[in-house]
Amino acid sequence: MTRGIWVGVVAAAVGAGGCADYYDKAPAMAPAGPAAVVKEGPKRPAFVLGKGVPQEIEDTAWNLTLHCDGGDGKACTELGKLHASAEWGARDFAAAARMYQKGCGLGSAIGCENLGDAYTHGHGVAVDREKGRELYERACQEHSGFSCGMLGSFYAVGYGVERQGKKAREYLQHACDEGDTASCRLNSSILACNGGEQEACAELEALKARFVAQDAPPSAPAPPAPAPPPPPSR
């Protein structure tokens, strides 16, 4: 149920011209007049996403970078999705989280939503589920049905919070009203489980297991220090 990073959406947008059309040009510079000072635009790095990424994706990433630097929160969020996508090279969740944070700060509800997901599961940032919930709440207040649904799901299954059926249903109903059909179904499952339907209760447990499965694996423990060398023989 977690949206996580919308790889398919980004891929479809690029392939169909979505991101490429929306951000097909760098911000226009003012024409130089007789007394105008001509300023060079930002220098393009050798690689925006990484070596081996298709040229058209690199072009899209560069244009997103220009618009993001110009204050477009949607562009920052889309750039974060590209950084997190395995389809365009090695995933860089830390870079993705930085872009989501910038996008969220510039008013992108999906940027807040994806940053909330990053903090919830520890993708590119240290796990901080309280902060993740705050970000989901912020996006929920911006009418993101998905974020409202995520909050309801957490309270429904007790993922990172104490189970609270009433609060879960309130968030899920809000999400359902916003058009999130998965939340409508989950709300029904909660009511069915409360009514004693074991199959519905099993669905809730399976949902919690899926949440846990998305958590980043814990860092490997440091290897033990090497044993000191034996004393020299006499």
Return the C-alpha torsion angle 131, 132, 133, 137, nearest 10.
100
What average pLDDT does the segment 25-46 reach? 48
Q: What does the domain layout of the chain look like in residue ranges?
A: 1-24+53-142, 145-215
Query: Can you name the CATH fold of 1-24+53-142?
Result: 1.25.40
What average pLDDT does the segment 143-163 reach? 93
- Where do runs of H (alpha helix) occur along the chain? 7-15, 18-22, 55-69, 73-84, 93-105, 109-121, 129-141, 145-157, 165-177, 181-194, 198-213
Single-letter amino acid code for the residue at 4: G
Query: What was the pLDDT predicted at 119?
Result: 95
Query: What was the pLDDT predicted at 104?
Result: 96
Q: The pTM is what?
A: 0.71
- CA dist., res. 191 & res. 152, Å (int): 13
Question: Is pLDDT at 185 greater than 70 in this prediction?
Answer: yes
- CA dist., res. 168 & res. 160, Å (int): 13
Most confident listed range (3-7, 90-94, 225-229): 90-94
Chain position carrying tokens 């949206």:
3
Q: How many Cβ atoms are within 10 Å of 34's Cβ, its own excluded?
A: 4
Q: What is the pLDDT of residues 78-92, one digit of tens each?
A: 999 999 987 766 789
222 CB-contact burial (10 Å; exposed 0-12 / middle 13-18 / buried 19+)? exposed
Question: Is pLDDT at 68 greater than 90 in this prediction?
Answer: yes
- CA dist., res. 174 & res. 17, Å (int): 33
Query: What was the pLDDT predicted at 47?
Result: 66
Q: What is the 3-state secondary structure (H, E, C) of 22-59?
A: HCCCCCCCCCCCCCCCCCCCCCCCCCCCCCCCCHHHHH
- CA dist., res. 74 & res. 80, Å (int): 10
